[in-house]
């Protein structure tokens, strides 16, 4: 079945360590997104990418990095520079054809806890 897969679902990290969250989609979508969600809050955009080898910062990009080497994959690295990384991370994708878009498809999320 087509969909978007995030891994790992749960991740624990010590302070000062970098960690990479995986996001893979087989929907042939051009655009991919990373959001952060804190308890009781809405989603905040970290990074997005509309095309391979190109990506843009969202509202809260500091302390995060991404790459888009393949259309299907958009990994997010949470670096040690991110001061408060404990959160629920959501990856999403959607069509992007000359500005026309469809609905967002979300993964099941990755919950990162920094010990």
Partner 1 sequence: DAKTTQPPSMDCAEGRAANLPCNHSTISGNEYVYWYRQIHSQGPQYIIHGLKNNETNEMASLIITEDRKSSTLILPHATLRDTAVYYCILDGGANNLFFGTGTRLTVIP
**Residues in the site for partner 1, rule: CB under 8 A?**
6, 31, 33, 35, 40-45, 48, 50, 56, 58-59, 88, 90, 92, 99-101, 103-109, 111
Provide, rounded to whole angstroms, the least separation between the CB of residue 16 and partner 1: 27
Contact 33, 45 (CB under 8 A): yes
**If DSSP codes are grouped into helix, strand and coil, which group holds residue 31?**
strand
Provide, rounded to whole angstroms, the least separation between the CB of residue 18 and partner 1: 24
Kindly provide the b/e burial profile for residues 82-109, where b requires at least 16 CB atoms within 10 angstroms of the residue's own CB: beebebebbbbbbebeeeeeeeebbbeb
Q: Which is nearer to partner 1, 46 or 78 (CB)?
A: 46
Provide, rounded to whole angstroms, the least separation between the CB of residue 17 and partner 1: 24
């Amino acid at each position: 079945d087509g969909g978007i897969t995030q891994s790992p679902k749960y991740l624990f990290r010590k302070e000062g360590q970098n960690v990479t969250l995986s996001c893979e989609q087989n929907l042939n979508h051009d655009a991919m997104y990373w959001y952060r969600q804190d308890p009781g809050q809405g989603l905040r955009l970290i990074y997005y990418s509309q095309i391979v080898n190109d990506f843009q910062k969202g509202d809260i990009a500091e302390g995060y990095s991404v790459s888009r080497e393949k259309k299907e994959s958009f990994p997010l690295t949470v670096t040690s520079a991110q001061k408060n990384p404990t959160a629920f991370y959501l990856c999403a994708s959607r069509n992007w054809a000359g500005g026309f878009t469809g609905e967002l498809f979300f993964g099941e999320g990755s919950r990162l806890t920094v010990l």
